[in-house]
Chain A
Amino acid sequence: MSAISASEKVDGFTRKSVRKAQKQRKSQGSSQYRTQSAPVELSPLPQLKDAPSTEQQELFTQKLQQCCMLFDFFDSVTDLKSKEIKRATLNELVDYVSTNRGVLVESAYPEITDMICTNIFRTLPPSDNPDFDPEEDEPTLEASWPHIQLVYEFLLRFLENPDFQPSIAKRYIDQKFVLQLLELFDSEDPRERDFLKTILHRIYGKFLGLRAFIRKQINNIFLRFIYETEHFNGVAELLEILGSIINGFALPLKSEHKQFLMKVLIPLHTAKALSLFHAQLAYCVVQFLEKDPTLTEPVIRGLLKFWPKTCSQKEVMFLGEVEEILDVIEPTQFKKIQEPLFKQISKCVANPHFQVAERALYFWNNEYILSLIEENIDKILPIMFGSLYRISKEHWNPTIVALVYNVLKTLMEMNCTLFDELTSSYKADRQREKKKEQERDELWKNLEELRLNNTTLVQNNSHANTRNTTPEFIGLFTLKY
């Protein structure tokens, strides 16, 4: 303890990077290991390719059973030999199902799924770092990856095998299987989530009977993420799958799908960790709008409802998404949302955070948006003018001021007369606003007095009918209006 340098004593807060460097990279075992009694030592079986074809099937089953043995990877020195045998066997199995035809006989299905379930389905361990920040922190990696990776690989090859029969497999790859698979998406290990993504996508493609179920369960996961736990590692991966699912929706859209958009995808924007999956989320939203443009209005209104109030980074993302939407918007839809939307944009333009203001001002570099604005200049200019005019004089950041000048110039060119009118009435408008503000204050002051009077009155004659006193109060503040 004496070896503490003076600087360390002064600054109690060691920098995060320093702390992280000290912390060794951790990997985690899974809760699952304990469920099984101590592993039996494995003995190598003969190679599948060396076995006569009549015995291959039997050997294949034996190997699958052998791979059901689980090992403790947290302890890196135990069972080294058996671990190596299992790894080699898994490799061989992967090879076997991907290169050979006719190996997927009906009796193999239960053995195969059994081996897969035993290996991959497990309760994920508690997170090592409760305030895990996926953007900053190193993920905890799955300790048993050397085996699990091969099992995933095997599952994928199994699903992709040309002989694969969904009609047989559906007895084993059922709702329960899918549910467990979906829970694994919470894994902190990105390698695992990547495999899961591809696998779930294949399952969605091959098992028509499971599609509705998969969508519903993803819904539940998202809702739990939004409203209950605010924690789920696989949101981006699930959204990526959904992006391609939405792409394939038939028209007209079912109400179930619209509900998913409005009640799940839009509220997902409120998540703290939005940056981790915003690209995928925006893609899904735009996919929906391309399918059915009439959804534009509710979507934009939804985004405006959840518009970030304190987080500038998120605001920039929202602006990005709005631009993506505007890129595909139909002019008739644009008319429906232009007012509320541009009120928000006008606030963003005036945002003291220059990245927000800049992102909003970039809209004016977009040809299509410019054409929409020009078409509706009589509506949009009055909304935007106040903010732009003020910012052109007040914003601290010179780049923003320069951008605002350009925007003002563009707008002026679109409708010169309206622009001049607004310029000349600017002062009067501000004063009107101020006056309104004062009137509000007055009103509330009067109401406040009323409340005080009323409480004293009530105290004075607590048995009196309160209704008797009411007209008097109303008289009191009607005087002002």
Chain B
Amino acid sequence: AAAAAAEVGGPCRADGDDSLYPIAVLIDELRNEDVQLRLNSIKKLSTIALALGVERTRTELLPFLTDTIYDEDEVLLALAEQLGNFTMLVGGPEYVHCLLPPLESLATVEETVVRDKAVESLRKISQEHSPVDLEVHFEPLVKRLASGDWFTSRTSACGLFSVCYPRVSSTVKAEIRQHFRTLCSDDTPMVRRAAASKLGEFAKVLELDYVKSDIISLFTALASDEQDSVRLLAVEACVSIATLLPQEDLETLVMPTLRQAAEDKSWRVRYMVADKFSELQKAVGPEITKNDLVPAFQNLLKDCEAEVRAAAANKVKEFCENLPEDSREQIIMTHILPCVKELVSDTNQHVKSALASVIMGLSTILGKDNTIEHLLPLFLAQLKDECPEVRLNIISNLDCVNEVIGIRQLSQSLLPAIVELAEDAKWRVRLAIIEYMPLLAGQLGVEFFDEKLNTLCMAWLIDHVYAIREAATCNLMKLVEKFGAEWAQNTIVPKVLGMANDPNYLHRMTTLFCLKLYWLLFFENTFALSEACGQDITTKQMLPVVLKMSNDQVANVRFNVAKSLQKIGPVLDSNALQAEVKPVLEKLATDTDMDVKYFAQEAISGKVFHLLSLCKKTLNDVSRILHVRYLCINELCSSLLFTVLALA
């Protein structure tokens, strides 16, 4: 590497040839002692290449890069990524093969991320090779990698077969198949794993005859490998292979192996089968599903390892959905449901919670009567589960049941479950249930809500955890959107306003946050809401409360008043703004606390505030659009302001 640089750097000084000078400088940059600087330089490799032009990139830069492969993995990773996008910088598809030598070395590096990236880049540029170049340059590289000494190059080769196979001559194709076969029986498990993980992809580009003759035997061998890490990858390949084969061959070519995998002694393999079950089911078709997969699925649902049961439980709904229609109900009722019933009282909470996340989906498949008779007891049992996650999963999927039997059937059990979750000791659980409140409110209706849930929603506003208070505030706004402004005026606003006098300053701040959001929400929907709840009421009712809070003894409350006023300023009419808001802000701007001062000044200096209230008078519609944007970006760019001014 040093020699290369010297050669390049040497003559330039001697000849005084200026045009040769930069490469030395650039190469110096690429070799800087500081890794971070080297990394930065490599990340800007395209800039360097651009400066050099295509010819010198090919003749000088790439040879240098090929020679300096020994570096920190992070630098190599960046290099591998860059080279994948270098085609135009070396002169287009005609010269793309110049990129192969550095990428070939990178594909043999130990570090997996580097190697994977190099393979990704190689796959990318393989598409830019002409068929001739592919055979002359690319395929030999794949062969070299496939017969490399150290496992890393052979591992990388596995990912390259499928990209060149479709575009080469039949002799070369035969060679490629041979190489793949060899790697599938490599003696290091790392290579066998790589080959197994690419088996499906390779099968897809092979001619059907070769799939039957070559791939199947490789598949069978990998699926009975001594290492479970190899066997489980064969399960993945099974999906692709089964999709490729005609139905009549599946039974003899694929099913023996799949049956064996579903009963493998290693739970990892069985887990994989469970995890891929829906894909497998689609790939093998309805007949085999009925005869083979149903019992296999039952076994997985009853597996001795919780991991496997959980993976299978996750697939219950999808599996049932994809059953052939003529026998679906019968299969579910006689084979699947008994297992599901057992899982409801499983000893492992992950299994129960996986089941809870899909079980509601069964109701649409089974219809109203079956749901009421068979599923409802299960839902109710899960709603009473000791593990909050299980209950949450049920509640979060209520909409499926609602469509089939209506939520009322559940509401008696639902309420205690919700109340319990609402008071859970873990704030994350409380947070999760809050997020479902708007959905529940929509489905249960306003009366039920007022009666049972309203108190919960208000209680969250004074939770001990900020995240909960924040979520509760947002939740209130969503409820207002659902139930309308009038409902808000009657049920929420008085309580929120009442909190303004709470002895706890955190609660007083919650009032502020609520009012701010409410205001903004209200403004966005001005046209949708009835005149009765017009701007006047909000202004008259709420503004005095906010303004009064500017005298709060806690500085945090005061500066939040300033922040809120800045936000809601644009929504207010200019009279209120000038007469009431401005004096308050000015007073806050002279506050003793520096944060209060800062935010008050921010609010005053936000010119937006005046301008917008000005144009609001004249151009209601324009300002409305602007406000909506204002809400998102918080600051209007100056050009927009000029437009507004001009319009005004």
Contacts and interface: CB of A to CB of B under 8 A. Distances in A.
Contacts of B425: 1, 4, 8-9
B47 to A, nearest CB: 5
A481 B304 contact: no
A443 B226 contact: no
B50 A123 contact: no
Nearest to A340: B33
A125 interface: yes
B267 A126 contact: yes
Interface string A214-229: 0000001001100110
A263 B110 contact: yes
B193 to A, nearest CB: 8
B305 A474 contact: no
A396 to B, nearest CB: 23
Interface stretch (A31-39, A349-357, A372-380): A31-39
Contacts of B226: 176, 179
A6 B423 CA distance: 12
Interface stretch (A190-198, A242-250, A316-324, A448-456): A448-456
A386 interface: no
Contacts of A125: 267, 305
A382 to B, nearest CB: 14
Interface in B1-53: 18-19, 21-22, 25, 29, 33, 35, 37, 44, 46-48, 50-53
Given A125-B267, A467-B53, A481 B190 contact: no
A15 to B, nearest CB: 14
B111 interface: yes
A305 interface: yes
Contacts of B265: 31-32, 35, 123
Interface string A29-73: 001111100000000000000000000000000000000000000
A466 interface: yes
A243 to B, nearest CB: 23
B464 A33 contact: no
B266 A471 contact: no
B111 A227 contact: yes
Interface string A1-23: 11010101110100000000000
Nearest to A33: B304
A4 B429 CA distance: 14
A213 to B, nearest CB: 10
B464 A6 contact: yes
A220 B22 contact: no
Interface in A104-137: 123, 125-126
A435 interface: no
A477 B19 contact: no
B54 interface: yes
A425 B237 CA distance: 66
A478 B189 CA distance: 53
B190 A126 contact: no
B424 interface: yes
Contacts of B552: none
Interface in A404-419: none
Which of the listed residues A12, A343, A443 has the most CB atoms from chain B within 10 Å of its own CB? Answer: A12
Interface residues of B, number: 50
Contact of A10 (B29, B35, B46, B464): B464
Given A1-B420, A263-B150, A440-B29, A447 B51 contact: yes
Contacts of B190: 220, 223-224, 227-228
B307 interface: yes
Contacts of B536: none
A478 B47 contact: no
Given A227-B111, A451-B50, A31 B304 contact: yes
Nearest to A301: B70
A172 interface: no
A224 B52 CA distance: 42
Contacts of B22: 474, 477-478, 481
A471 B51 CA distance: 9
B72 interface: yes
Contacts of A473: 50-51, 53
A451 B49 CA distance: 10
A244 B498 CA distance: 77
Which of the listed residues B22, B29, B37 has the most CB atoms from chain A within 10 Å of its own CB? Answer: B22
A450 B50 contact: yes
A308 interface: no
Interface in A176-219: 176, 179
A2 B420 CA distance: 9
B426 interface: yes
A31 B151 CA distance: 32
Given A1-B420, A126-B305, A179-B226, A31 B266 contact: yes
Contacts of B307: 126
B150 A2 contact: no
A447 B189 contact: no
A1 B424 contact: yes
Interface in B328-350: none
B465 interface: yes
A447 B41 CA distance: 11
Interface string A224-242: 1001100000000000000
Interface in A442-481: 443-444, 447-448, 450-451, 454, 466-467, 470-471, 473-475, 477-478, 481
A12 B465 contact: yes
Interface in B418-434: 420, 423-428
Given A12-B428, A267-B110, A471-B19, A1 B423 contact: yes
B251 interface: no
Given A451-B50, A481-B21, A443 B29 contact: yes
Contacts of B305: 31, 125-126
Interface string A82-108: 000000000000000000000000000
Given A31-B267, A123-B267, A223 B21 contact: no
B228 interface: yes
A309 B228 CA distance: 35
Nearest to A12: B427
B55 interface: yes
B188 interface: yes
B19 A478 contact: yes
A451 B268 CA distance: 51
A265 to B, nearest CB: 12
Which of the listed residues B19, B33, B193 has the most CB atoms from chain A within 10 Å of its own CB? Answer: B19
Contacts of B68: none
Nearest to B92: A466
Contacts of B268: 123
A4 B51 contact: no
A475 to B, nearest CB: 8
A190 to B, nearest CB: 22
B397 interface: no
Contact of A223 (B54, B151, B426): B151
A445 to B, nearest CB: 11
A76 B228 CA distance: 30
B538 interface: no
A432 B267 CA distance: 63
Given A448-B47, A451-B47, A466 B53 contact: yes
A8 B463 CA distance: 12
Contacts of A176: 226
Interface string A293-321: 00000000000010001000000000000
Given A31-B265, A31-B266, A228-B193, 7 more contacts: A9-B427, A9-B463, A9-B464, A444-B44, A447-B48, A466-B54, A474-B22
Closest 8 CB pairs of A and B: A470-B53, A12-B427, A34-B304, A10-B464, A478-B18, A123-B266, A4-B425, A227-B112
12 contacts: A4-B423, A9-B463, A220-B189, A224-B189, A224-B229, A227-B111, A228-B190, A444-B44, A447-B44, A447-B48, A451-B51, A470-B54
Interface of B: 18-19, 21-22, 25, 29, 33, 35, 37, 44, 46-48, 50-55, 72, 110-112, 150-151, 188-190, 193, 226, 228-229, 265-268, 304-307, 420, 423-428, 463-465
